[in-house]
Amino acid sequence: MTEHQRVAVVTGASRGIGRSIAIALAAAGQAVVVGYAGNEQAAREVVAEVTAAGGQAVAARADVADEKQVAAMFDTAAETFGGVDVVVNSAGRMALSTIADLDLDDLDAMHRTNIRGTFVVAREAARRVRSGGAIVALSTSITGLQLPTYGAYAASKGAVEAMILILARELRGRDITVNAVAPGPTATELFLTGKDAATIDRMAKQPPLERLGAPSDIAGVVAFLTGPAGRWVNGQTLRANGGII
């Protein structure tokens, strides 16, 4: 581990799980680049929350699937804080439909963010993260639950797990850990939108802990993986889902 302050780039950090991750990493002493796609006000609110608590943060807009914008986001980290040690790709898109009925435009949009976006961020991270650093990508426990209407989304996140675990092997000798975190049903806007109360209640009762995850539950796992206690966890998918599978 190096002595300089660790610097984290977190995509999808303006809301939901990404927001909680950014706040948790800042609370652990990391300077944070709050990556966002479009909601500048929400990203600035995360920066304000971090700085009010005594941390350091800056917002950076980037479409994760656009390699030039992603490179510029990493440049912001280097110019503002001196480099990059931690990268967490939390940006994601979800469209629910049976495979038979899915609009292929929705498929393309989802795969652009979830697959290409993960690849672009991972590629930049592989080139920039300093020795002793950590890379984390968000997957989903739906890949194991195999619920109807989640086929395209699960396929995109299966690709995330495949590429991120291969990256762990490709970074041999660099002292950089690479892992995926696969949340179960988590109470975010992305999860709750379009679901009625009965569906939400049924899914909340599925894990043995009998509740939905909270964004802070996932943020705690990411903070562990990117901190000193998580250095021996590498090339893994951690299923943070309350025991649902």
Domain range spanning residue 68? 7-240
pTM: 0.95
Structurally, how many domains does the chain consist of? Answer: 1
In DSSP notation, 106-153 reads: HHHHHHIIIIIHHHHHHHHHHHHPPTT-EEEEE--THHHH--TT-HHH
Q: Which of 87, 153, 163, 225 is catalytic?
A: 153
Q: Is residue 76 part of a domain?
A: yes
**In the predicted structure, residue 1 carries a pLDDT above the cut 60:** no
Residue 118 lies in a domain: yes
* 29 pLDDT higher than 60: yes
pLDDT tens readout for residues 175-201: 999 999 999 999 888 788 878 899 899
**Domain-embedded: residue 112:** yes
pLDDT in tens, 36-91: 999 999 999 999 999 999 999 999 999 999 999 999 999 999 999 999 999 999 99
Nearest to 63 by CA among 11, 15, 17, 21: 11
Q: What is the pLDDT of residues 151-162, one digit of tens each?
A: 999 999 999 999
State the average pLDDT over residues 207-224.
96
Q: How far apart are CA 134 and CA 17, in angstroms?
A: 18
pLDDT of residue 103: 97
Inter-residue contact 8 to 88 (CB < 8 Å): yes
The pLDDT assigned to 3 comes to 63
Q: Are 31 and 8 in contact (CB under 8 A)?
A: yes
Give the neighbor-by-neighbor strand order of the sheet with 134-138: 57-61, 31-36, 7-11, 86-89, 134-138, 177-183, 237-240
Bridge-based pairing of strands 7-11 and 177-183 is: unpaired
Residue 36 falls in the annotated catalytic set = no
Q: Is the pLDDT of residue 214 over 50?
A: yes
For residue 245, being part of any structural domain is answered with no
172 φ, ψ (degrees, to nearest 5): -50, 135
- Structure-derived torsion over alpha carbons of residues 106, 107, 112, 115, reported in degrees to the nearest 10: 140
What token pair was written down for 190?
């992305």
Q: What's the pLDDT tens digit per position in 102-132? A: 999 999 999 999 999 999 999 999 999 999 9
More confident residue, 204 or 2: 204
87 vs 33, 106, 208, CA distance in Å? 10, 27, 31
Is 120 within a domain? yes
Asked whether 186 and 17 are in contact (CB, 8 A), the reply is: yes
Residue 2 has a pLDDT of 39
Residue 2 falls within a domain, yes or no? Answer: no
In a domain, 26, yes or no: yes
The CATH number covering residue 68 comes to 3.40.50.720
Residue 25 maps to a domain:
yes
